[in-house]
Structure 1
Amino acid sequence: MAHSTARVRRVRSASTRRAEIVRLAAELFDQEGYHQTSMETLAARAGVAKPTLYHYFSGKEAILREIHRDFIEPLIARHEMRLTTSMRPRQLLLEAMGDVLELMDTHRGHVRVFFEHHRELPPAAHAEVQARRDAYETHIEAVIERGVREGEFRAIDVRLTTLSIFGMCNWAYQWFQSEGSMRPREIAYLMWDIVERGIGAPGTV
């Protein structure tokens, strides 16, 4: 029993250390650039010897894959959890937009890497990550389709609407500041208001 407990602790410790390395790497890639950051630099920032760093990850590409997973998997998990509830399409879309904005706050270093460096992944990892991104996109399309089908949204181009919502949320990493006057979910509510009601004044359309 003692051996089993010790093994669990070692596994947890290794998992925690890997997560910390990924977080530090995401920050460095965001600040210095993916190509400009070496494994030596990352090892120094993490306070470990370079061979120790290679014990956890085979190289920068392996870390890059983990960064992408850390960003996309929470989005999918949260959305799939909400699909088990009675939420209507409007609320599902609003919550999805809030998720993206909140991750830009809590996973600041991951965001730029996720949107700008997925092409640096090796083919197999890129295909894996792209499949998950596509799965999430399909989820959002399905919500919009449901809204149209049930009369909650007007007849619209579902694909273009999906891309427009993603474009609005995803581009926010270029200007969002954690120390700004509005919190991520507040911004999401304002964005959703623009999506749902447009910008025309009442009576002018």
Structure 2
Amino acid sequence: MTKASSRKELMSNTVLEKAAVLFAERGFAGTSLRDIAEAMGMTRPALYYYFDSKETLLRELVRGITGVGSQELRKLRERTDLSAAEKLRTVVIGTAVRVAESPVRFRLLERNEAELPDSILQEHSASKGRILDELSAIIGDGVRSGEFRPVNERITAFSVIGMINWIAWWYNPQGPSSPEEIAEEMYTLVSRGLLRGEDRVPARGIEGAVALLREDLTHLERLLADGERPTS
């Protein structure tokens, strides 16, 4: 990368961050290119060197969040060197850190989703759908392998995504916890609800034992429904 292209990339990212703040505060419809140029301390013609319209800015922001996220998640799910639990940890930690480090970009999507131009909305919705599908598949793989409790993978995926996205609204960069610490706490909450293993200690008495038996029966029913058969 040349020095000129490196500087353009740096300035483009700065413009994106400033645009994200304005879109989140004023809404997409309430923000003009002039507003963004003034916030950057440059003229509109100078801004055109980086982005030719606010729609282009918004599309780049959307792709950087849900577009990149869906691509990374698909590549992760296809890896054969990681267990479902390791994939889940990678998803939760990586996404939580990204949200905490760029909360404004995630907030702008929540506020502006209804205002997105049709072409951008379609792209955004498709990426969100792929994220849900890939995470559901990872959880489903973990259920079938016996790593995870027998849960509804889609409902669980919705819950994990919602919990992580909410970081953008409450996380305080000046607070006592770093993005990495927040991410680890998030994974602890998720894993305790999903993982099966030595820490799966039943509640006391017959009711606790029955609860574990029900989990095992649900797991067996899922395997049989997927066409798997016990080996002799």
Under TM normalisation by the shorter chain, which class is it? 0.7 to 0.9
Deviations 1:156-186 (A, max 9, x none): 1111111111111112211111122222232
Amino acid at match of 1:64: L
Aligned to 1:101: 96
Match of 2:23 among 29, 48, 69: 29
Deviation at 1:130, TM superposition (A): 1.9
Match of 1:123 among 110, 118, 123: 118
Amino acid at match of 2:160: I
Aligned to 1:154: 149
Aligned to 1:165: 160
Match of 1:114 among 109, 127, 139: 109
Deviation at 1:13, TM superposition (A): 4.2
Aligned mates of 1:160, 1:21 — CA distance in 2: 37
Match of 1:60 among 47, 54, 79: 54
Aligned mates of 1:108, 1:161 — CA distance in 2: 23
Q: Secondary structure at the match of 1:56?
A: coil
Whose radius of gyration is greater, 1 or 2? Answer: 2
Deviation at 1:34, TM superposition (A): 3.6
Match of 2:32 among 34, 38, 43: 38
More displaced, 101-110 or 151-160?
A: 101-110
Aligned mates of 1:39, 1:183 — CA distance in 2: 34
1:142 aligns with 2:137: yes
**TM-score scaled by structure 1?**
0.81
Aligned to 2:203: 203
1:179 aligns with 2:174: yes
Aligned mates of 1:125, 1:31 — CA distance in 2: 20
Amino acid at match of 1:190: E
Deviations 1:16-45 (A, max 9, x none): 432221121112223444444322121012
Structure 1: where are the runs of 5+ without partners?
none
Aligned mates of 2:80, 2:23 — CA distance in 1: 37
Task: Let me know the Cα RMSD of the aligned residues.
Answer: 2.7
